[in-house]
Amino acid sequence: MAIAGMNHFTILTDDVEATRAFYCDFLDFTVGPRPPFTFPGLWLYAGGAPVLHVIGGRSRAELRRGVLDHMAFTAHGLAATVALLKGRGMPYELRRVAGSKDGVWQLFFDDPNGAKVELDFDASEAAPA
């Protein structure tokens, strides 16, 4: 067996609309085609590919982290993203990968369901104010 790449992540939610708004309005994902499953949800696309599946109809008690710690995406626009997080009053952690030759910026925050999101920015991007 050979792995060709990551296909998608799945998030469980008690509020499909809030999850859609977060990922589409904040991270510029788009809602795209999804098979006619018998449970609520949606598929979110980035770069034309369905990278995030959202499954609704769960209770808040079911929304907890498991063995998967976080999902990471390559991103652009570090300063604007940090400003957006600040503007929404969202806690975040920004760090630069120490000891690496490229010094990638890593930005961590939680989605409305408590799932940890990491955005990785090129080292050439300026530090936010």
Span 93-119, pLDDT tens digits: 999 887 656 788 999 999 998 889 999
Mean pLDDT of 11-31: 93
Q: What angle do CA 24, 118, 75 make, to 5 degrees?
A: 65
Domains of the chain: 1-59 (3.10.180.10), 70-129 (3.10.180.10)
Mean pLDDT of 26-53: 93
**For position 1, what pLDDT does the model report?**
63
* SS3 annotation, 7-76: CCEEEECCCHHHHHHHHHHHCCCEEECCCCCCCCEEEEEECCEEEEEEECCCCHHHCCCCCCCEEEEECC
**For position 103, what pLDDT does the model report?**
81
Mean pLDDT of 118-129: 88
**For position 109, what pLDDT does the model report?**
94
Q: Indicate the pTM of the whole model.
A: 0.80
| Alpha carbon distance 47, 45 (integer Å) | 7
Per-position b or e across 4-26, b if 16+ CB within 10 A of its CB: eeeeebebbbbbbeebbebbeeb
pLDDT in tens, 42-74: 999 999 999 999 989 888 887 776 667 788 898
Q: What is the mean pLDDT of the chain?
A: 88
